Every structure is written in structure tokens, then in C-alpha cells.
Amino acid sequence: MEQQADIFYRELPKVELHAHLNGSVSVRTVEKLISRKPQLNIKHDMTAIGKGQRRTLDECFQVFKVIHQLVDTEEDILMVATDVIKEFAADGVKYLELRSTPREDNNTGLTKRRYVETVIKAIQQCKNEEVDIDVRFLVAIDRRNGPEVAMETVKLAEDFMLASDGLVVGLDLSGDPTVGHGKYLLPALQRAKNCGLKLSLHLSEVLSQLEESDLLLNLPPDRIGHGTFLHPEVGGSQSLVDKVVKNNIPLELCLTSNVKGKTVPCFAKHHFKYWYQLGHPSVICTDDKGVFSTDLSQEYQLAASTFGLGPDAVWELSRRAIDCIFAPETLKAQLKHKWEELQPQAFQ
């Protein structure tokens, strides 16, 4: 049976701003995918990192490759996206920004355009079914694919920003942080910014990226994913911190992901503490709820128990996340109203 404390975190209305679609696939959905493709001989333990387990970042990226093998048709993407959206809704997430890297597959006829269209279709289907969640989409650039693909991705995102009825709101930069250099991606990111796409960039996820982080912070991005090694205590620098603070760039922080991916040694040493104590906008997120076997309620509970946050502080943390969303101000106001309505229920 759920404890009273667990119920509070489930009832807490939440905003999820850092969720990679294929990293968010649940065990239940993986089962359906495996039964569609038994010939691949993929086992459950190849798609998720269980409780108490840790992997290197490199090993985590191998897991995504396995999931990509399972998700390679429009039907798969539609099922994965609708399942993921409904699971976030069931976890009390009221506003979700999903991100995903458009892929093409010559064997199945999947194109990058159809990929994005299919995610949008899933969002619209959930809306038509009145699932209680507002969902937006960030088109992702995988840094491993270099500047030309990055520019193509920006153009695709630009088209959809204009033609998706406000569902495509921005761009994500992700992929293996040890591959490539952000300086080559600057023209694509600058173009995205100029055309009105919001930018969420994975930044300083590993220690060796100080110069790159400095360059990318000059854009500046609208939000930062992880930012694990920005601050001086862990090998970053005060000037990086100053840039983040001066531009008031919110951070998307994913506790379980960083500990399981071994970029942070333990929860108590997570950089949430640094940024939260600074009073800087910090949003708790899941990153890859399927791969890291977590959900957003658990992540809030983990932050609270690790850093000694009481219910009022947790409530504020979730409410302040609304200010960091990429959707328009009108929606922010509606969400704040929703939080007010739901407060008595969460605290009863």
C-alpha cells in the first residue's frame, strides 16, 4: 500500500520539462514492442537500468540503441508516444515537454518528417481523448550527427513550429556529450533562436566541456539540461555560473539519471543542492523514466528526502517550474490557476 508521503508526491501537480521520448518507454510498452519484433531477441534488461544498478554514460547510450531497434515504424512511434504521455498524466504531470530525435529508416520507410508528424499525432490523439495533460514537443538534435544534420533538423523544427498549432515549441541539443564539439553546431542553434524556437541545450554533462559550455551560453539558451559541471566546486568555473545566473537560465535537473549514469557520485552530491541554495530556477525532471526506472513523483520525493525539503518547499518547487515552460504566458497563467485549485487536495 502507498504511504501517505508517497500519495503527496503523486497528488502533487507536476511539470516535466526534460523527457526524451525513447528513454521514457515503460516496461509495459517495451513488452508490446518486443512481441511485435520477437526476431530481434531483445530482453527486458537490455532496455532499462534497474534499482541499485549503475552504468557508465557510454553504456547508457548503448541502451538507447537497443530501444531504437524496437521503435522503427510510425506505428511504434505512435504507440510509444501515446503510452508515454498517458503514463506521465497518470503520474500527476499536468504539463509535459517531450523531446525526441527524428529518425529515418530505409527498411520501414520511416522519414524524419513522418517521425515528427507521428509524435504530433500522438499528442493530438491524447488531447482528443481528454487526457489531463498539456503536451508540447521539442525536436532534438543528436550532436553525434554533425552540423549538416543539425541544420536540417532546425529547418524541420521551423516548419513544424509554424504548422503544428503551437505544439512544436523548441529545440533540444542532446546525444553523447563526449562526441563532437558544440562550436560546429552554433550556426544551426543561432538560426533556431532567430526563428523563434526555444533552446534547451544539454550543457556541461561531462567535465571536459568548459570551453563548449562557455560558447553555448553566449547564445544564450532558454534552458539548460543537466549542467552538472558548471559550478567551480566540481571543476566548472564562476564565470560559467555568472552567465547562467545573469541570463536567469533555468536548469533541468535529473537526479536518478545522473547517479545511475555515474556523472554524479551520489544523490547527496547532486548539483541540485548548489543551484537550489542559490535560489536559481531549478526544475526536477526524469530525463529517461523508462531507462532509469523512475517517474517524476519519485524524483520529487528523492529531492525532498535527500535535501530536507518539506511539503511547502516541494509545492513551491513544482509551482515555480511553470515559469520555465516554453509554451506562452497564457498557458502559464492557466497552469498556475490549476495548481491553486489542486492545492487543498494535495495537502489534505
Query: 72, 39 in Cβ contact below 8 A?
Result: no
Binding mask of the shown chain, residues 67 to 106, with x at each position contacting ligand 5GP by CB under 6 A:
---------------------------------xx-----
Among 158, 287, 295, 299, binds ligand 5GP (CB under 6 A): 287
Kindly determine how many residues on this chain lie close enough to bind ligand 5GP according to the rule CB under 6 A. Answer: 17
Residues 246-285 that bind ligand 5GP (CB under 6 A): 257
Q: One symbol per residue from 46 to 65: x for binding ligand 5GP (CB under 6 A), - otherwise; what is it?
A: ------------------x-
Given the rule CB under 6 A, which of 1-9, 155-163, 170-178, 330-338 is the region that contacts ligand 5GP?
170-178
Q: Is 205 in the site for ligand 5GP (CB under 6 A)?
A: yes
Report which of 246, 307, 249, 309 is spatially closest to residue 283, judged by C-alpha positions. Answer: 249
Evaluate the CA torsion angle 190, 220, 113, 134 in order and state its sign: negative
Return left, alpha or beta for 309; rule: phi > 0 is left, psi -120 to 50 is alpha, else beta: beta
We find the least distance from the C-beta atom of residue 292 to ligand 5GP, in angstroms, to be 9
Stretch that binds ligand 5GP, among 16-24, 34-42, 162-170, 333-341 (CB under 6 A): 16-24
> Based on CB atoms, which residue is closest to ligand 5GP, 23 or 180?
23
> How is residue 261 written as a grid cell?
549514469
Q: In the beta sheet, which residues pair with residue 263?
A: none
Single out the residue of 12, 21, 123, 259 in contact with ligand 5GP (rule: CB under 6 A).
Answer: 21
Q: Which of 288, 297, 298, 346 binds ligand 5GP (CB under 6 A)?
A: 288
Q: Is there binding between residue 22 and ligand 5GP (CB under 6 A)?
A: yes
| Contact residue for ligand 5GP among 13, 23, 221, 236 (CB under 6 A) | 23
The secondary structure of 257-302 as a DSSP string is HHHHTTSSS-GGG-THHHHHHTT--EEE--B-TTTTT--HHHHHHH
Q: Which residues are the active-site residues?
A: 205
Sort 86 into a burial class: Cβ within 10 Å, 0-12 / 13-18 / 19+.
Answer: middle
What amino acid occupies position 162?
Answer: L
Residue 134, interface with ligand 5GP (CB under 6 A)? no
Using rule CB under 6 A, residue 123 touches ligand 5GP:
no
DSSP string computed for 64-81: HHHHHHH--SHHHHHHHH
Query: Are 195 and 163 a contacting pair, CB within 8 Å?
Result: no
User: What's the grid cell of residue 19?
Assistant: 523527457
List interacting residues with ligand 5GP (CB under 6 A).
20-23, 64, 100-101, 140, 142, 174-175, 177, 202, 205, 257, 287-288
